[in-house]
Amino acid sequence: MRPEIMKEFERAGERSLLSLVEHKEAGGKVAGVYCLFAPTELVRAAGAIPVSLCGKKEAPISAAEKTLPPNLCPLIKSSYGYAVTDTCPYFGASDFILGETTCDGKKKMFELMGRIKPLHLMHLPFDADGGQALAFWVQEMIRLKGFLEEQTGRSVEVRELNRQIKLQNEVRKLLWQISRFSRAETVPLSGLDMMTVMETKSSCSDLEAYAVLLRQLIKELEERCAAGVAVHRRGAPRILFTGCPVGTGSEKVLQLIEECGGVIVSMENCTGIKGQDLLVEEDTADPLQALARRYLRIPCSCMTPNEERLNLIRGLVEDYRVQGVVDLTWQCCHTYNVESFVVREFIETRHGLPSLHIETDYSSSDTEQLRTRIEAFLELIA
């Protein structure tokens, strides 16, 4: 049985769309974002509402392939397909787009998307260590601040930016607290429901209302834990899910793990808890510097080397008593595909745990083949 409050998370998207309409009617702006590297605190401080844009379903990919090559990551093709078909309500509501150079495919796709709506591209340094990378990223924050002020007609004030930083930090703390419930022997929240909670954050127009929902969920999870309520059978293999981001429409691997009897105790990927343990320093005289330091620490596979991802995985494996790791790579996502070797070596050699690397796309054509592989993997653990 699911937590009762999950119904509110599922309805949150409709409420957010209504809020966006009211915000725009009042003269406000909406920023479409695609990635964790977009500093949403800065967007909100400029008076705009950031919303995560669609890109996790197969339907619009055929439209995208009229322009983009077929042998490209499905996330990129889906994102662009939604844009050119205007079938994502959040893209339709967006006044401008924030892009980032996390991979070459997205970088070139953003060139084409910039023909549809105003688009600002943040240029990422690919080495998070050292002062040069931080100095460069601070300048990118300053450049983004100028773009946002130009688009919204509103200056970003230090006091408001610090307020938004505190609010985002509070949400991150609540999400991290929710994720920690799965350390227990009886896991009270499924991976699919955790995905829904995280997706609500990415499309939520009112962060304070979202924080209220999170606190209600925490209360219900506390009650479920006290009563010994679990979302899995006794002895179910405890799985860490890592790799590329997933969402509604591209959750097939996540769903198969749970259908086959595994329990997702943690999701390290971008639609999981990646970055939720990273807080921005509060009440500083230079909040842009503080934002730059925090966002540069996100352990994305676009970073080289990416030791922070292994550090995060190490902590999750130990804290959540993980028994196996499933690493998902979308086809043609080269950074995560190459890094899968490092992750597998780290998991199997350092921790002595079995791992399963899955490379797939958004289609359902390989679902039964994947089911067979996942069933065999879980039997190996059991």
Residue 182 has pLDDT above 80, yes or no: yes
Q: Which of 13, 291, 21 is nearest to 137 (CA)?
A: 291
Q: Measured between alpha carbons, how far is 162 from 140 in angstroms, rounded to an integer?
A: 18
Exposure of 83 by Cβ count < 10 A (0-12 exposed, 13-18 middle, 19+ buried)?
buried
For 53, which DSSP code? P
205: which 2 tokens? Answer: 């127009």
- C-alpha distance across the termini of the chain, in Å: 24
- Count of beta carbons in the 10 Å neighbourhood of residue 308: 17
* % residues pLDDT > 70 (the chain): 100
Domain with CATH 3.40.50.11890 in the chain: 6-153
Residue 129 has pLDDT above 80, yes or no: no
Read off the pTM.
Answer: 0.96
Domain with CATH 3.40.50.11900 in the chain: 160-381
Q: Measured between alpha carbons, how far is 242 from 329 in angstroms, rounded to an integer?
A: 9
CB 329 within 8 A of CB 359: yes
Query: pLDDT tens for residues 24-64?
Result: 999 999 999 999 999 999 999 999 999 999 999 999 999 99
Residue type, 261: G
- Count of beta carbons in the 10 Å neighbourhood of residue 4: 10
- Answer CATH for 6-153 from 3.40.50.2300, 3.10.20.600, 3.40.50.11890, 3.40.710.10: 3.40.50.11890
| Summary mean pLDDT of the chain | 96
Does domain 160-381 correspond to CATH entry 3.40.50.11900? yes
96: which 2 tokens? Answer: 């401008």
Q: Measured between alpha carbons, how far is 74 from 130 in angstroms, rounded to an integer?
A: 33
Banded model confidence at residue 103, pLDDT cuts 50, 70, 90:
very high
Query: pLDDT tens for residues 252-305?
Result: 999 999 999 999 999 999 989 999 999 999 999 999 999 999 999 999 999 999
- Count of beta carbons in the 10 Å neighbourhood of residue 233: 8
Beta-bridge partners for 122: 100
Residue 236 has pLDDT above 90, yes or no: yes
